[in-house]
Amino acid sequence: MTLTSAPPTPPRPKRRAGDRIFAGSATGSGILILLVLAGVAIFLIAEAWPAITAQAADLPGGHTLTAYIGPLVFGTLIASVIALLVATPLAVAIALYITYYAPRRLAAGMGYVIDLLAAIPSVVYGFWGIAALAPALVPLYGWLEDNLGFIPFFAGPASATGRTMLTVGLVLAVMILPIISAISREVFSQAPALHREAALALGATRWEMIRMAVLPYGKSGVIGGAMLGLGRALGETMAVAIVLSGSGGITFNLISSSNPSTIAANIALQFPESTGLAVNTLIASGLALFVITMAVNMLARWIVNRRADFSGAN
Amino acid sequence: MSTQTPSAPAPVTEHPGPVRSHRRLPRFAATGVYLAGLVLGALLSAVTGFSVALTVVYGAVLGTLAVWLTSRAVEGRRKSTDRLVTAIVTTAFAIAMVPLVSLVYTVLDNGLRRFDGTFFNSSMLGVVGEGGGAYHAILGTVIITLLTTVISVPIGLLTAIYLVEYGTGRLKRAITFLVDVMTGIPSIVAGLFAFALFALFFGPGIRLGVMGAVALSVLMIPVVVRSSEEVLKLVPNELREASYALGVPKWRTIVKVVIPTAIAGLGTGVTLAVARVIGETAPLLVTVGIINGTNLNPFEGRMATLPVFAFYQLTQPGFPPELAIERAWTAALVLIMLVMALNVVARLISRFFAPKTGR
């Protein structure tokens, strides 16, 4: 640090003890964060190692580790993808409504209300999902089975409790909606005013202005926001643990009562009663979840940050 | 990037027809037509056996269609597309309100039944059927959250100070990126990390309040860093330079000038971070567990916490189940109230402690 000497170097100020301590502890905290992130990976690997090296017969269920984690990964992915498919269009529409359609005076309040959705604890979403949403969806599932049963997703038999993969996907969609809409709102409101006004001045309607000046500008922001939402949905635990009745193996049937569980929900449900190698197996599945979410998040951040670098706004 | 060259001239070439501004729907006609569509939808669902859900679905579709067709007939294609999108976007916003309203209603409806003195005064020790409360769980949540705050705020704040005041080059970029990535760590993984850390030293089967605090800190630190960094960046550079010009050392400038200027924003950020972790369930489930009695020592044995209490009362209610499920709902209600209260406090802090310099 002392070796960096840009040409116009001002005379080096006297370093007091207070300065050194303060700078040192600030830098130390920053480095501590790097260590924590590395520590998460290292300790998870250390505790997962016995399960990775163990014989298949010793693991819970008597399968190999991949056979144990496989259905869980599948369940995690399918629930998150449903959530993403439902939440993204809705979130973009909400963001557009708040930034360009809502009455100016109400817009801030509406944004605050949507943000409240993000503040509600996930265990409460689970309560709501099992008590309000799941029963409300049962008739819909019956209808889907009767009329769209030829599509593998809705093959049935429809669950009588509504605690299905599709319900979980919808609960997750509600949970990630505020994340995606918050980021979309931010990028939409940053769309250059000159472009917007130019479009309007040339006689574009409001939708044409949005399509030509706002959406192209906000596209990568929306994609990044959606991926952040995906990251949240992948790791969501309590709502899934409460709502889903997960028992079966891999299946694309979204409305029946046998569903693959998700990694996070499986850990939450099994962990308190597990001992010995079962704990290591669960931690190994947690490691898989960690790797998946890290990859998704890094990609998302990369996309969002790339937009910041290229946008004309800064 | 394409935004550099404004694509504004496109409408002229793409849509040669002008907006026929002389033929316009009256001001509230679109809203009226939409409402008429809604009524039609209600009638349609009444024919096939009335249900609220069908009314909303039919009504939204018919209302949107009605607006589109009317506008298309009167105002032409471009204007009608605009109206169509307006209707869709507004409907989407209304749809997003449904879960929020439904959730608040469900929790209030179920939670108010046991919202009484016993719930706040008694623990679950020796409670089999009636009575019992979350006294132990509420105290446990408060203790663990305080401990989390004590761990996270100094680390988070110092990291933010490093990033804004000291950081340069590759280390700064790495920390910024990893803090962003760390925000995305699933809460259950944070719990497993704390478990793995303590299990290596104390053996498996260990459950401590402080483990929960460590797990929650992993979730809270990045939130504190992000919000503090944003706030510290807003402090005008002139203030720092004025302080340096008076010969004040850098660390005193930060402590006496930068932080007091930003204190409102810092307080808001920390409060919102607390609100975020106070409702976390999964990490506490694997690190702290649950007990029926009151344990206030986070360094010894299991503790009860409000979210975990709610989870177990709902999923393992025992017999008769209704009583435990009522307790679970009340716990959920208390949890929501805590989070909302923290959000309100955060707003108040940012309003009343805003810096006196006219930014």
Provide the number of structural domains found in chain A.
1
Q: Check residue A210 and give its pLDDT.
A: 93
Q: Check residue B357 and give its pLDDT.
A: 52
User: Which residue from A290, A45, A69, A266 is spatially nearest to B200, judged by alpha carbons?
Assistant: A45
pLDDT tens profile A168-208: 999 999 999 999 998 899 889 888 889 999 999 998 999 99
A18 → chain B, closest CA residue: B251
Through-space distance between the first and last CA atoms of chain A, rounded to whole angstroms: 29
pLDDT tens profile B190-199: 999 999 888 8
Which residues in chain A are closer than 8 Å to B174, comparing Cβ atoms? 34
Q: Find the angle CA(B38)-CA(B43)-CA(B47) to the nearest 5 degrees.
A: 145
pLDDT tens profile A54-97: 877 777 776 788 888 888 999 999 999 999 999 999 999 999 99
- Look at A164-168, A171-175, B11-15 and tell me which has the smallest mean pLDDT: B11-15
Question: Between A185 and A245, where is the model more confident?
Answer: A185
For A:53-82, CB contacts with B below 8 A are none
**Cis before residue A157, ω within 30 degrees of 0?**
yes
CA distance A71 to chain B (A): 18
Contact A163, A243 (CB under 8 A): yes
Average pLDDT, chain A: 85
Q: Check residue B144 and give its pLDDT.
A: 94
What average pLDDT score do residues B254-259 get? 91
Whether residue A237 is contained in a domain is answered as: yes
Q: In the numeric block, which tokens belong to residue A151? A: 């599509």
Quickly state the pLDDT bin for B12 (edges 50, 70, 90). Answer: very low
User: Which residue from B41, B29, B34, B39 is spatially nearest to B87, judged by alpha carbons?
Assistant: B34
Whether residue A87 is contained in a domain is answered as: yes
Which residues in chain A are closer than 8 Å to B289, comparing Cβ atoms? 272
**Cis before residue B320, ω within 30 degrees of 0?**
yes
pLDDT tens profile B26-63: 778 778 888 888 888 878 877 776 667 777 788 888 88
**Which of A94, A123, A174 to mutate to test binding with chain B, by most B CBs within 10 Å of its CB?**
A123
Percent of chain B with pLDDT over 70: 91
Whether residue A195 is contained in a domain is answered as: yes
Q: Check residue A129 and give its pLDDT.
A: 93
Residue of A34, A212, A279 with shortest CB distance to B175: A34
Contact A131, B106 (CB under 8 A): yes
Architecture of the domain whose range is B121-352: Orthogonal Bundle (1.10)
Contact B306, B123 (CB under 8 A): no
For A:209-268, CB contacts with B below 8 A are 210, 212-213, 216-217, 228, 231-232, 234-238, 241-242, 264, 267-268
Q: Which residues contact B346 (CB under 8 A, 6 or more apart)?
A: B267, B268, B271, B272, B275
CATH number for the domain spanning A268: value is 1.10.3720.10
Judge: A40–B175 Cβ closer than 8 Å, yes or no.
no
Q: Is A291 on the interface with B (CB under 8 A)?
A: no
Res. A292: pLDDT tops 60: yes
Quickly state the pLDDT bin for B10 (edges 50, 70, 90). Answer: very low
Res. A5: pLDDT tops 60: no
This prediction has a pTM of 0.86
ipTM: 0.84
CA distance B6 to B14: 15
Judge: A235–B180 Cβ closer than 8 Å, yes or no.
no
Q: Given the structure tokens 């807003």, which residue do they identify? A: B234
SS3 A39: helix
Q: In the numeric block, which tokens belong to residue B232? A: 């510290």
User: Which residue from A89, A88, A61 is spatially nearest to A266, judged by alpha carbons?
Assistant: A61
DSSP secondary structure letter of residue B6: -
CA distance A265 to A250: 16
Res. B152: pLDDT tops 80: yes
Q: How many CB pairs under 8 A join A and B?
A: 312
Question: Between B7 and A237, where is the model more confident?
Answer: A237
Q: Is A149 on the interface with B (CB under 8 A)?
A: no
Judge: B182–A264 Cβ closer than 8 Å, yes or no.
no
Contact B295, B302 (CB under 8 A): yes
Average pLDDT, chain B: 85
Residue of A36, A102, A202 with shortest CB distance to B12: A202
Domain of A193 in residue numbering reads as 74-308
CA distance A279 to A300: 31
pLDDT tens profile B171-208: 888 888 888 888 888 999 999 999 988 888 888 788 89
Residue of B158, B197, B328 with shortest CB distance to A25: B158
Q: Check residue B70 and give its pLDDT.
A: 85
DSSP secondary structure letter of residue A61: G
CA distance A250 to chain B (A): 23
pLDDT tens profile B212-232: 999 999 999 999 999 999 899
Judge: B286–A272 Cβ closer than 8 Å, yes or no.
yes
Domain ranges of chain B: 29-114, 121-352
